[in-house]
Amino acid sequence: MKKRVIIIGAGIAGLTAGIYALQSGFDVTIYESHTIPGGASTSWRRKGYLFEGGMHWLTGSSPKIPLHKLWREVGALDDSVNIYNRDPFLTFEDNRQRACLYRDLDKLRRHFLEISPDDRKEINRLCRDIKKFTKMSMPVLDIKGVKVKEKSALPLSMLLAMLPALPRMSFYTNQTTMEFTRRFKSPLLRGLLESVVGPENNASGMIFTIATLVSGDGGYPEGGSLGMANRMAKRFQTLGGTIQYGKEVSKVPVQNGVASGIIIDGEQIPADAVIITQDTRVAIDNLFDSPLREPWAEKMRESTKPMMITFICVGVEADLSDLPESLTFVSDQPLRCGDLAASIISINNYAGYKGYAPEGCTAITSGIMGDSYDFWKACKEKGTYETEKQNLAETFIHTLAKKLPQTAGKIAVWDVATPLTYERYLHSYKGSWMSIMKKGSKMESYPSKPESIKNVYFAGQRLVNPGGLPVAVETGRRAVQYLCRDTDLVFQDNI
């Protein structure tokens, strides 16, 4: 008889774990509190507009990158899915001048030199580093001692190719992007580079992101976040797995150090193993009878720096396809929520994407990055939550009309999702969906299973910072490798 595995969450990590566990011979049920798969990888429709609420780019969309194999194995990508490689990836505009983040490194270098010949030395140095970082990519490895159908190892050639970037790592990690950009005289180049991952994150995120784009990776799969999640859910169900939607797991009961299943609405459902993909930062506090007190869990409590957004989206009754697809500009009227005041506004323009808006119209998304959780919580308690969301949307619409007059009076619909919205849907820490890499912070990696509880495994974005989709898929796979090792089964990456 097959061993019964329960997975908490049908996000990207949960679906990944489900697919590999089924292929490896387990009987798998996923319990998901929402009514659809995907978790943070989601999008939603309002009045005929589709708002992309998750990914802007996918590491591993290119077949040249090792992670690509995983996306194919879990059905996220296949031959029928077109990948769209936006180019320029970003456009920064100030005082009617534009700087673009092109994917071709020579073109990027020439463009930067045209903008600011005085920055030649720094531009050349940055481009040399980008080239070195294009060789860095997340390897796909097997855990020690697991039996596998097909071995995944780090080829020596890949390891050697990564070596030149290593000495430059600490240079970028030990400064914020804003500190790094001070080397450039041109405010336009500074603005563009700061808009890649934000000015406060350490500069390694910036160089990695640009290198990913330059290497031909970081595309947007057709159908976006929800399309990708639906394909994975379909693969899971085709393999014989069951997803129970609208089911929130309240506890994982543990007797004598062994997990025996899950509890939903007071009912206990037995299992031989439980894979938890709810944000690990929350799970260690809430899912067991008492908080998990292992050293790594204490470290996670202390060091988690949650990434949060107040997401704004509007449907515009105008065709904006002549504008850049990702435009960042400076506004003299900042968007505010609580202590956050954003005067650098980034918009994503989906005019070129079929099906994202009625004919001749455009879906636009934006957001204010940063910790506004307490502000929105206080608004909820005071009863001003809906009014504040409306105020923010109106300021955004006004800002947009000032920058793009063709949008004035043309807003058909708006929506705002706050960290409380994300918390309600994801049950994640302060509604976050990734972690921030501050200046000097190391890439933390947390264990896939606790030492003190048997039959429990963890997967998901929080296990390796900064998280995101690559970590979700990699940790989902890794959790199943531990499960296979513990149960003496062969891990099957395909059937």
Ligand X SMILES: Cc1cc2nc3c(=O)[nH]c(=O)nc-3n(C[C@H](O)[C@H](O)[C@H](O)COP(=O)(O)OP(=O)(O)OC[C@H]3O[C@@H](n4cnc5c(N)ncnc54)[C@H](O)[C@@H]3O)c2cc1C
Give min distance, CB of 354 to ligand X, in A: 20
Q: Between 56 and 168, whose beta carbon lies closer to ligand X?
A: 56
Q: Between 184 and 311, whose beta carbon lies closer to ligand X?
A: 311
> What burial letters (b/e) apply to 94-133, b meaning 16+ CB within 10 Å?
beeebbbbbbebeebbebbeebbeebeebbeebbebbebb
Give min distance, CB of 477 to ligand X, in A: 12
Q: Between 307 and 361, whose beta carbon lies closer to ligand X?
A: 307
- Residue 304 CA to residue 96 CA, distance in Å, equals 39
Give min distance, CB of 160 to ligand X, in A: 27
Q: Between 44 and 296, whose beta carbon lies closer to ligand X?
A: 44
CA distances from 119 to 58, 195, 242, 441 (A): 31, 19, 57, 28
Give min distance, CB of 279 to ligand X, in A: 6
- Residue 131 CA to residue 216 CA, distance in Å, equals 12
Give min distance, CB of 314 to ligand X, in A: 15
Q: How many CB atoms lie within 10 A of CB 66?
A: 16
The answer to whether 66 touches 79, Cβ cutoff 8 Å, is no
User: Tokens 């409380």 sit at which residue?
Assistant: 420
Give min distance, CB of 365 to ligand X, in A: 8
- List the structure tokens of 444: 């933390």
Phi, psi values for residue 251, rounded to 5°: -150, 155
Give min distance, CB of 184 to ligand X, in A: 25
Q: Between 233 and 316, whose beta carbon lies closer to ligand X?
A: 233
Q: Between 123 and 228, whose beta carbon lies closer to ligand X?
A: 228
The answer to whether 461 touches 433, Cβ cutoff 8 Å, is yes
- Residue 55 CA to residue 65 CA, distance in Å, equals 18
Any residues with CB less than 8 A from the CB of 126 and at least 6 apart, and which?
112, 207
Q: Between 175 and 306, whose beta carbon lies closer to ligand X?
A: 306
- Residue 454 CA to residue 54 CA, distance in Å, equals 34
Burial bucket for residue 79 (CB in 10 Å: 0-12, 13-18, 19+): exposed
Q: Between 193 and 469, whose beta carbon lies closer to ligand X?
A: 469
Q: Between 10 and 320, whose beta carbon lies closer to ligand X?
A: 10
| Parallel, antiparallel or unpaired: strands 340-349 and 362-369 | antiparallel
Q: Between 70 and 489, whose beta carbon lies closer to ligand X?
A: 70
Give min distance, CB of 437 to ligand X, in A: 14
- Residue 44 CA to residue 229 CA, distance in Å, equals 13
List, in sequence order, every residue forming a beta bridge with 329; answer none if it has no partner: 93, 345
Give min distance, CB of 239 to ligand X, in A: 18
Give min distance, CB of 136 to ligand X, in A: 16
Give min distance, CB of 311 to ligand X, in A: 6
Give min distance, CB of 480 to ligand X, in A: 14
Q: Which residues sit at the interface with ligand X, rule CB under 6 A?
A: 8-14, 31-34, 39-41, 53-57, 248-249, 277-278, 309, 311, 425-428, 433-434, 460-461, 467-470, 472
* Short-list 432, 312, 388, CA closest to 51: 312
- List the structure tokens of 282: 């929350």
H or E element that contains 372:
none
Alpha helices in 183-269 (DSSP H): 187-197, 203-214, 224-238
Q: Between 324 and 460, whose beta carbon lies closer to ligand X?
A: 460
Q: 246 in helix, strand or coil?
A: coil
> What burial letters (b/e) apply to 347-359, b meaning 16+ CB within 10 Å?
bbbbbebeebbee
Q: Between 50 and 489, whose beta carbon lies closer to ligand X?
A: 50
Omega within 30 of 0 (cis) for the link into 466: yes
